[in-house]
A and B are shown apart, each in its own frame.
Chain A
Amino acid sequence: MSLLDVRGLTVTYAGGTAAVRGVDLRLEAGRKLGIAGESGCGKSTLALALLRLLPAGTRVGGEVLLDGEDVLAMKWGRLRAVRWAGASIVFQGAMHSLNPVRRVGDQIAEPVLLHRRATPAGARKRTGELLEQVGLPAARAAAYPHELSGGQRQRVMIAMALACDPRLIIADEPTTALDVMVQAQILRLIERLVADQDVGLIMISHDLAVLAGTCDRLAVMYAGRVVEEGPAGDVYEAARHPYARALSAALPRIGDPASRFAPRGLPGDPPDPAALPSGCTFRPRCPVALDSCAEEEPLLGDAGADRRVACVRVTAENPTAGGPAPRPDTAAGGADPRHGTAAGGTDPPPNTATEEPNPHQATTTDDSDPRHGAATAAPDPRRSTTAGEPNPHRTPTTDEPSPRHGTAAGGTAPRRGTAAGGPGAPEETRPSTP
């Protein structure tokens, strides 16, 4: 049994913004999974959904199996026990996640006192141990957050996450806003802790290079879905999905003459989750899009050894993706085998068997800018709900149990129509196939 098995996870904020639209992930103990993507791709929402930390009114569907137990179906008391002790989160922006008027030692001790029912003396002792584990002297427990540097505050956040010996640690941008040298220190610390304590790690970042250097596997998210998934080195060095390729190419490699005076980016902006383009959500920015990409959103399909990509060009090239070939589970766990089937079901366009992403569609059509199609085909932009992420560190006690919606729909992989669907098509009203 995997430590964490996420199946068909969907998150729809109150107001209808679909932030996560069907994500499957699996993680074994002692392994590290990186989730990469731009702002707004749903990666932080995904992290919060794993522990049901989203605001009330948010609809969460699918299953989050932590040691085989579905977090989304847990009773409130059980969920409280699982937070911190089963899984904990290291949030980005340590300055905002720590209480500025309380000593850091007291803040680390809080979960120990609550969840371990430790005595105050026992909690103090544990706090000292934790601080030393993360490379701070135990005496720093008496410091206030403002007395610590950014790197030290991040260490405190990590100590707090370790407080109740969780089985799973979710680190959301743990090194963003830190200097390179401090970032290297924190990444080493995280790696050491994962190796020593045999916990599972999910690390979320926009920096593909950092993830590739730390994690075993990488999942690249775009517009609420995983578009590429595989061994970290392979995805970073030789991404197959056009978006993952662009993300990887956007990182300069010092010493590489190709990137000297040639910064590479990706034109356009990530789509508004409240108004996704039809078909493949990456199509408006995709340099190699086909006409058929506007019609159906590709699902993750096999793309070589232990890798999955959601792109018709890649799955059409790959002969193994032709048939419904559910893969056996792999070591570090991949996506749900249902995806293999689903990808097999979509007919690849007949003329895409070429090796290269040669833009031969240019010859078959002189249709102008595909962006226009996207703009008109997109559903009317409803006001984008902010759904500000709460600060779960200060609110775990007041956070109300989000009612579980969409349980019945958990078994179905959400289709394009749902994701971009109008406000009148809430998920739980759809027929379900258990």
Chain B
Amino acid sequence: MKSIRLENISKAFGWIKALDDISLQINEGEILALLGENGSGKTSLMNVIAGIYHPDQGDVFIDDEKVTISSPKDAFKYKIGMIHQHFKLVNVFTAVENIVLGLEKSDYKKFKEEQIKTEEEFFAKLKGVREPSNVEVANAKSRIYHSGKYDLNFARQKVIQICNQYGFKIDPDKHVYDMSVSEKQNLEIVKALFRGVDLLILDEPTAVLTPQEIKVLFKILKNMKADGKTVIIITHKLNEVMEISDRVEVLRKGKYIGGVKTSETNPAQLTEMMVGKKVELEIRRDTPVNPDLRLEINNVTLVKEGVKVLDNVNLQVNGGEILGIAGISGSGQKELLECVAGLQKAKSGDIIFHNPKENKPVTFFHKDLKQIKELAAQGKFHDPDGNKIDLTGLKDKEIRKMVEEEKIIFYENEIMPLNDKTPLEIRNLGIKLSFVPEDRLGMGLVGEMNLTQNMALRSFRKGKGMNVEMKKPERLAEHIVKEFGVVTPNLNTPVGRLSGGNIQKLLVGREISSNPKILMTAYPVRGLDINTSYYIYNLLNDQKNARCAVIYVGEDLDVLLALCDRLAVIYQGKITGVVDPHKVTKEQVGILMTGGSIDA
């Protein structure tokens, strides 16, 4: 294979034009970065080359010859391999078993020929020294002809050879379930190379890696380039583009924008090409003003199916501050947030909420009359003049009137353990969780319901009578659609039909709009375009300035370091450090993310 040329490729999904008349050239032996925001069509375009999508219009040329690639198998025929974001490996198989899995008869033939060649080479070498013994010949024959379909030993040798050549670190006999994310990724690449791939496409390969692992991956990619292989890396991270690529091609909203040599460009220019206008790439971080303790997580341990998902976690979260949580995905971030939200019951430990009630009047929203009387008996309230309140001897009616006139005021913050509270009670206290899982809809939204109904999820119990009140949710939906620029045909569209980014804007928008006291967000910008991402960072910063305690679980270390006031790092359910983002480096955080320790 020498080069691939795409001519006038178009592909539509329903009313969305994912690819619009794209022409592109890929040269032999280069590392090409395909740059674009989420939803710009990068992955769709590569899926066309990898045989997963069939374009509506346009042609693919390999070495100036028109080809039809109609399946991933076809793609392998043309020596094209693609590594997807979600790995396609069998967990209970070992590395080498995964590699030979799915080889076809034709592959097998080639494979055998190669094996015969090695055996012949062995005998040829031997010839000068001594005659091969009968046993050796018989063994070789049985290895070639009678050893079942694949000779795993031979495959293993080839895997080791590939690993040594390019610098992978893979144990061929390790089971996939024992592997870390980066090992799985390496295995996927080796699998492609094993099949003799000359063009390797990597879809967002760095999203799941630590800084150290990214360095190793880039070194491997450079080795592959030196070996004459072509690499396409799909990404939206500019620093990586600048570091690794020879050339950059930019897509925006399904259209081809242009290509530049990496050595002749800079991040600002690339961003402009990607977004279509100049973007201020700065995350606002205001200095926290008098942060006060809002949430204590004390020695929390969570066991799920016999595995400690959270191991003795201690954390303090302050109002008026953003606490970042960094870690490889699946290290317990999700479970930690769910514990606080009451969706998981911790095995041991306490979660204590400091309700900021100091000098604020009591309301019937959280307390009923009986509770107010009890608290008053404990001397928790004062009147507007600062005198202690004694409710004994007062009639219920009089107390109600005092509460409604906001004359009963808390002395201090209310301290309440959350362990025995239901998710609903915790939500009503103002502790909001906006978690964006992989499938985006799993928690917080209902795909079959329309925008308005999804807004009503938060408030549908309010209001008198049997029926659900839909006016306010409708207004909220309108507001969020306008404010966040959600692309939707109308408010009656089921949210499951919207694109991932738009779904996310709805979810984050809904949770922020409720003025929470604690806002927990996990991956709120996953899949969003740059402008909206920065918009959300700034919204979080605004929440912080409004005295909200923000917990931000993120993937992008650059963002975590730029946005947060404190940064906790989690590894296998343990907090390996709480660091000052102003002082640490990405590499140091990377060490903590893999269970190491630093002096800071």
Please determine whether chains A and B interact with each other in the same assembly: no
